[in-house]
Structure 1
Amino acid sequence: MEIGALIRRAGVNFGDAPCITEDDRTLSFREFDQATDRVGNALSAIGLRPGDRVGVLLPNTIDCLVAYYALAKAGLVRVQLNAREAVTDHEHKLSEGGARAIIQSGFPDLTADFQINLEQLRDMISTGDPSPCQIERPLDAPLRFAFTGGTTGKAKAVNLTTRCELMEISALLTDLIPDLRQGDTFLHAAPISHASGAFFLPCICRGAHSLVMQKFNTSDFLDLAERSGASMTFLVPTMLAMIMEDPKVDSCKDQFRRIVYGASSISSGLVERLEQRFGRVLAQTYGQAENPMAITQLAPEHHDRVGSCGRPYTMVDVAIFDENDQPLPPNERGEIVCRGVQLMAGYWNRPEKTAEAIRDGWLRTGDIGYMDEDGFYYIVDRKNDMFISGGFNIYPSEVEDVLLRFPGVVEAAVVGLPDERWGERVVAVVAGRPDLEVEAILLHAQTHLSGYKRPRALEIWPELPKSGANKIMRRRVKETLMER
């Protein structure tokens, strides 16, 4: 099945029901199908051919989603870009993906054979050939290029096929949001160029209404949640922490039945506060660019498993391997690995890196973790972020979890800096309320952490550096501290 067929079927099944809304603009399911046909045909008419790569650099808008799925209908490969990133990041990704065209708003200096701005895109939506656009390609041909997080170096293009995409949709509808249905409203507040966009096609399949926020802020989010009666949303932990600091949070009359979170680790203290406020509606999903969204999921009823990222999705195989690629028994730490239909086809034009990441069909996630006796998985930290201080392994996320429990701390990053005595010393940086005090936070850490895990120094910054996917970039924190 092609992605375009899902959209065409939704246009027939759900017709004039609202498909997607942004501010005061709404497209029905039928209108969304027609808009993607027009743009797909217009892109073919200017000379783009099936298999060509096209960068899309647009904010959270209806236009962005029309562009995404017009490309799919026209057999073009989406090169996924995030408007929050720097121009140098966009240039690298366009080059890495070999993009022939770019559809953009606000970045006229980016070069490609075909430059399509927002005005031209909207003209295509209005005047393009309305006949069905249906270019069929093999299920294992590239559908879109996602990118690795870039937290440890230059981002690599991840080749995701139509087969991968269909598996991801099935996984989300089977395990994570099985009760998504017609009449629901899914509030997209996180970037649709990243994880939030993964929920649009499930909404298409089930006839649910997608409500898109152009830019997230907590006050507008809470107002929109109450006004729309949204039943589901996806947010990253930093956004959830910010919402819990908003004065409106206690008075908001929301109707959330499911709040999905992921993309980075969450503190157990924040989970407790969220459940006290919203009830048992939290669902966690763990994935990465190479295995999008669907490695494990933690259902609302399992959130008493503190620190767990859940059990594997139904059609995903997960294990813990040692350094010799041998499976480990429960409660022993090793690298989390996974396999299944949902895996990437590989890193685009990087066969050596692909061979390092996927061995014998198993993807090495780079995450250190373990599985308990009941089959629940726990992420300890990124393999590359662990450091040694005084002979002890330090996992930054364990220390960060404690710091995030301090009232008013919204973001935290822990890194190891060179030290003559300890090899590396534990240093922390936090951000949050303006009245935070270093001494009080260090005392909190001293009370709740073993001696070797306690920060030797702590700084308070206005905010921490984050990737376009809202992941805190420990590497940049460390670089800033090292430059002093």
Structure 2
Amino acid sequence: MQIGDLIRRAGRQFDAAPCLIHGDRTVSFAEFDRLTDRVGHGLLARGLQPGDRVSVLLPNSIDGVVVYYALAKAGLVRVPLNSRETASEHTYKIEDSGSRGLVHAGGPPTQVEVMVDLDEITELMASAPAGGDKPCDVRRDVDAPLRLAYTGGTTGKPKAVVLTTTTEMAEVANFLVDLIPDTTPGSVMLHAAPITHGSGAFFLPHLVKGAPNVVLDKFTPEAFLAAAVDHGATTTFMVPTMISMLLEHPETATTDLRLQRLCWGGAPMATSVITRAVDVLGPVLAQLYGQAEAPLAITCLQPWEHLDHLGSAGKPYTFVEVDVRDTDGNSLPPGEVGEVMTRGPHTMKEYWQRPEATAETIEPDGWLHTGDLGAFDENGYLSLMDRRHDVIISGGYNVYPREVEDVLLGHPAVLAAAVVGIPDAKWGEQVSAAVVLRSPVGAEELTEHCDARLAGFKRPRRIEFWDALPTSPVGKSLRREVRDQMSDDEKETTHV
């Protein structure tokens, strides 16, 4: 089965019902099927061939979603570009992927052969090609590249992850069985985050169930609350920074929301924020753990489990294998920390044109190294400690930055925190923290707060107060940049 088959079937089954909504514009399921056919034919008519990579730089919009799935129907490989990234980052991904085409609304200067702007996409959608509307139905092997998803680049240049139709179908199945099992035509998915990343994964599961997808230009608490009420949103996806912003907004607690699932992921969230979110929004949080190499589908934590399993990433999805192993590849018992491994159709095929990196990441039997450290408990819940390369070794002891950050975030004056290891002649690495405040507090008070909750070797020996932390385009704290900037003598530093 191809992605286009899902779209055609939804077009027949749900016909004139709303499929996509953006502002005052609504596209039905049948119309979405036609529009993706037209754009798919139009892109092939420009000289693109099945298997060619096509970069897409479009804002959150109906047009962007149409282009994404027109590419799938035409057998073209999607390379999504995030509008929050710089022109040089866009150029890197276009060149690294070998993209022959670029669909854009004001793209970066590039030597791409086929440039298609938003006006041309609009023209393609507006009129049927000669001979009338015909299905665009290029059939490719289900394990051929469908899209390239770039890693966050938190440790260097981003790598392109090759995801296939098999990967996409596995993600849809895992979502509908475990994460959003109650999805019906009466559900409404509100895309507040960029569709280039996590939020876009929720489009197909809602399409196949006949549920409309509402797209926001960008996230603000005001825009989210208004759209959620106007459209009766039942499901949404956010990263933790968005949830924090929503909770800070004075109207959130008094707005009558229909949310059944507020799915979140992409970065850790402080337990204090989780408990507050449950208090304000009700038991609707559903955490999902994944990564570019295994998109959003390694484990999930259900709404009714959040408070009883604070700090856990949940249990493996039904069709997913997860194991925790030591450095020799041995499975570890509950309670012991090791690398999280996963296997199943949800994982990537390979890194694009990086066979050595692929061999290092995927074992011959299909198990994928996530690079994350974690441990199962006796009941099968997975807790994540940190990225393997972020672990701080101070005085011979392992310190997991996430644990220290969570303690700092538990102080009411702390808005954001990033903990890193700075080279130290005595201890090997010094536990150091960059902190963003929501209200005034001194380093001494934060130190006392940590002393009461952490072993001495885990306590930050250095605290810096910053105006903001560097983050990736999807809101992840960039510890690598924090580590580099910690050596900047111009910043005011307090050693404690």
Query: 1:274-311, CA deviations, whole angstroms, 9 ceiling, x for partnerless residues?
Result: 11111111111111111111111111122111211111
State how far apart, in whole Å, the 2-side matches of 1:123 and 1:434 are: 52
Q: What's the CA shift for 1:221?
A: 1.3
Aligned to 1:356: 360
Asked if the contact 1:238–1:410 (Cα under 8 Å) also holds between the matched residues in 2, the reply is no
Segment of structure 1 superposing worse, 105-114 or 305-314: 105-114
Please point out which of 219, 242, 245 is paired with 2:245.
Answer: 242
Asked if the contact 1:315–1:340 (Cα under 8 Å) also holds between the matched residues in 2, the reply is yes
| 2:418 is equivalent to residue 413 of structure 1 | yes
Amino acid at match of 2:241: T
Matches within 5 A, 1:45-444: 45-129=45-129, 130-303=133-306, 304-359=308-363, 360-433=365-438, 435=440, 437-444=442-449
Secondary structure of 1:482's partner? coil
Secondary structure of 1:332's partner? coil
Q: What's the CA shift for 1:270?
A: 1.0
Asked if the contact 1:39–1:128 (Cα under 8 Å) also holds between the matched residues in 2, the reply is no
State how far apart, in whole Å, the 2-side matches of 1:25 and 1:436 are: 48
Asked if the contact 1:285–1:293 (Cα under 8 Å) also holds between the matched residues in 2, the reply is yes
Please point out which of 470, 478, 481 is paired with 1:476.
Answer: 481
- Unmatched 5+ residue regions in structure 2? 490-496
Asked if the contact 1:41–1:128 (Cα under 8 Å) also holds between the matched residues in 2, the reply is no
Q: What's the CA shift for 1:30?
A: 1.1
Identity of aligned residues (%): 49
Closer, same or farther: CA 438–248 of 1 in aligned 2, 3 Å: farther
Q: TM-score, normalised by structure 1?
A: 0.97
Asked if the contact 2:91–2:108 (Cα under 8 Å) also holds between the matched residues in 1, the reply is no
Asked if the contact 1:250–1:277 (Cα under 8 Å) also holds between the matched residues in 2, the reply is yes
- Unmatched 5+ residue regions in structure 1? none
Q: What's the CA shift for 1:339?
A: 0.4
State how far apart, in whole Å, the 1-side matches of 2:261 and 2:425 are: 49
Amino acid at match of 1:333: V
C-alpha RMSD over aligned residues: 1.4
State how far apart, in whole Å, the 2-side matches of 1:6 and 1:92 are: 33
State how far apart, in whole Å, the 1-side matches of 2:105 and 2:136 are: 24
Segment of structure 1 superposing worse, 442-451 or 242-251: 442-451
Asked if the contact 1:3–1:162 (Cα under 8 Å) also holds between the matched residues in 2, the reply is yes
Secondary structure of 2:418's partner? strand
| 2:456 is equivalent to residue 451 of structure 1 | yes
Query: 1:425-459, CA deviations, whole angstroms, 9 ceiling, x for partnerless residues?
Result: 11111225264554443432233222221222222
Query: 1:59-81, CA deviations, whole angstroms, 9 ceiling, x for partnerless residues?
Result: 11111111100000000000121
Segment of structure 1 superposing worse, 403-412 or 223-232: 403-412
Asked if the contact 2:56–2:79 (Cα under 8 Å) also holds between the matched residues in 1, the reply is yes
Q: What's the CA shift for 1:42?
A: 0.3
Query: 1:246-285, CA deviations, whole angstroms, 9 ceiling, x for partnerless residues?
Result: 1112111111111111111111111111111111111111
